[in-house]
Amino acid sequence: MKKKIDIRQLSLEQLTDEIVKLGEKPYRAKQVHQWLWKKRAIDFDQMTNLSKSFRKLIENNFIINALVLSEAQISSDKTIKNAFLLADNSVIEGVLIPTKKRMTACVSVQVGCSLDCAFCATGKLKRVRNLNADEIYDQVVMINDQSQKEYSIPISNIVYMGMGEPLLNYKNVLLSVDRITSEDGLGMSAKRITISTAGIYKKIISLADDKVKFNLALSLHAANDEKRNKIMPINESNSLNSLKEAMIYFSEMTGTRPTLEYIIFKDFNDEISDAEELVQFAKSFPSKINIIEYNSIDEGKYQQATVKKVDAFASYLESKNLIVNIRRSRGKDIDAACGQLANKNELAR
């Protein structure tokens, strides 16, 4: 039996070629493409303006590998953590984060992760594979549907801060953004999208050269190499100096103000001397700083810094005329907060 083609892996041009091979007119491909991306069809029978015979023809030759929602947990703060089942039976997680000002979809880009950051539950999992663009896209669609069903509000923002490192899945991440922002897709503004990276300087330079329109966030967490090496092994091959140069280049090429994410750990990076180092790094290019509350994980070595230390840290940064926000965690009671994804999800192990 002929193996069916994963239809959402095809560009419009490739889909047109395949449709023509089946003896159909080229315009049919555009109709199908619109159903897949703009109308979000996950079954060929949903393509109701196509004849039954044509629907049967494409069903016999193509397959749509759509995500399946296998579990949803609702936090006391209304955050919803979702476990999504992929076609190969892998499991990823995505989160709907509701606040007064925005509804945010947090999506994953890999099954597992290879970076092994000391403070992150996902980093304890092995990396199985990259997600395809359509698998990232499906998370956004499904979380948006969930937001409208549960809270009667569509999502306003998307953050690529779930499982995996986005810049190690560069091609599919950018393709997913294109699908999300395209008028042939969801039509969302790129300014509503933030890609978060642990810091791969060559890929940050690639983003700059590609003149991306979305926001970039660098997970810094320490502004000296010795400390950062301890918690983020990737720093050994992506030093702070190389990251600083890449971020300067990115800011110049895109005209945007990247975000520096900084988790404050008790007795590790919570002193004013640490803040001084962060100031020196942040002042190198237009930036803003998000101080993030640490969320404990099983067998984790680190603890959240005291409120007094966090406030003093933030005040020092502000005294140096830096833009600072303190981000309080949401969804902690269901392990949906930053760094906790897949912490206790046996399916995702």
Angle at 85 between CA 84 and CA 89, to 5 degrees: 155
- In this structure, are residues 317 and 305 in contact, taking their beta carbons and an 8 Å threshold? no
Q: Where are the alpha helices (H) located in the chain, listed in sequence order?
A: 12-21, 27-37, 52-61, 133-151, 170-181, 201-209, 225-231, 240-254, 272-282, 307-319
Instruction: Write out the two tokens for 272.
Output: 């004013």
Q: Active site residue: 106, 113, 120, 338, which one? A: 338
DSSP string, 46-108: G-TTS-HHHHHHHHHHEE----EEEEEEE-TTS-EEEEEE-TTS-EEEEEEEE-SS-EEEE--
- In this structure, are residues 62 and 7 in contact, taking their beta carbons and an 8 Å threshold? yes
Helix (H) or strand (E) holding 263: strand 259-263
Beta bridge partner(s), residue 82: 72, 94
**Is residue 106 annotated as part of the catalytic site, yes or no?**
no
**Is residue 93 annotated as part of the catalytic site, yes or no?**
yes
Which residue is listed with tokens 């007119």?
A: 25
The phi and psi torsions of 81 (rounded to 5 degrees) equal: -100, 130
- In this structure, are residues 168 and 199 in contact, taking their beta carbons and an 8 Å threshold? no
Instruction: Write out the two tokens for 19.
Output: 């449709």
Q: Active site residue: 71, 93, 117, 299, which one? A: 93
Q: What is the DSSP letter of 6?
A: E
Those residues with Cβ within 8 angstroms of residue 315's Cβ, 6 or more apart along the chain or in another chain: none
The phi and psi torsions of 6 (rounded to 5 degrees) equal: -70, 100
**Residues carrying an active site annotation:** 93, 338
